[in-house]
Amino acid sequence: MWKLGIIGGSGLYAIDGLEDARWVTVDSPWGEPSDAILTGHIAGMEVCFLPRHGRGHRIPPHQLNVRANIDALKRLGCTDVLAVSAVGSLNQAMAPGEFVVVDQFIDRTKGRPSTFFEAGLVAHVPMADPVCPRLSALAADAVAAVGGRVHRGATYLAMEGPAFSTRAESRLHQAWGCDLIGMTAMPEAKLAREAELPYALVAMVTDFDCWHDGSDVDVTDIMAVMHGNAALARAMIVTLCASLPATRAASPIDCVLDQAIMTAPDARDPALLARNSAILKRWLNRSGG
């Protein structure tokens, strides 16, 4: 059965059509998530909505507690995660107001905790294909169904922020072959993979970054485009929920930890096992710890 976790980024602070809505506070051993989580049903499917920056956009990208966010969604029983983010474009073909379903990332963040696995419990999850192709395709179809222009497949460069790029950086990222730039997809996608949560990212293009025409990136202009995108993003979520298959077939990502954990049983840190009780629940039941 599906239970969709939705992480709403800049411009997406609420969702439409949510029945039985209530805010739930989740205690995580990794600290406080960005906010309480709004739970309810859309088209009969259970969803959990987390505003990534908190209601009122209180938390900057470099101070997000992403481990707590992912852990909280896992504790609520989410099976999959759909992230929605505002981005700048490094690709002339991906214009402001359009949507892009990302399939690759380059991580240029620094200093952000990026793993649930520390000394006493070592794991190496595969990230060659960092998103769930099934959820990504369904999300792209939903964007198209509500009238959005959608690009399927792009490379997203995750920068530290919170300042925007210099012009030299923007042109360098473009020369690397990146299509989009943002501040939040990493380590979010990595942590979702470690938590065995299939992850898809729908990016809402707000600007061309500063490589484009010699102008600077302006928050006022970004906000104007973002508000227009947000209405389509909310409609996309409703359509996606209504279009998900009645039965959720298993994904290879559901059991990625089976081939990832390296530490021998007698060398595992009991405290870290306990801290990771949510993301390790299936694996512990299978392996006996």
Q: Which residues are catalytic?
A: 207, 209
Which value, to the nearest 10 degrees, does the dihedral of the CA atoms of residues 227, 155, 180, 57 take? 50
DSSP string, 179-217: -EEESSHHHHHHHHHHTT--EEEEEEEEE-TTTSSSPPP
Q: Please confirm whether the linkage preceding 252 is cis (ω < 30° from 0).
A: no
Cβ(125)–Cβ(272) under 8 Å? no
DSSP string, 53-109: TTTTT-S-GGG--HHHHHHHHHHTT-SEEEEEEEEEE-STTS-TT-EEE--EEEEE-
Cβ(75)–Cβ(26) under 8 Å? yes
Cβ(88)–Cβ(206) under 8 Å? yes
Cβ(261)–Cβ(289) under 8 Å? no
Backbone φ and ψ for 197, nearest 5 degrees, come out as -115, 110
Cβ(123)–Cβ(261) under 8 Å? yes
CA neighbor of 26 nearest in space, from 41, 34, 13, 36: 36
Cβ(12)–Cβ(34) under 8 Å? no
How far is residue 73's CA from residue 281's CA, in Å, rounded to a whole number?
Answer: 14
Q: Could you tell me the end-to-end alpha-carbon distance of the chain, in angstroms, rounded to an integer?
A: 26
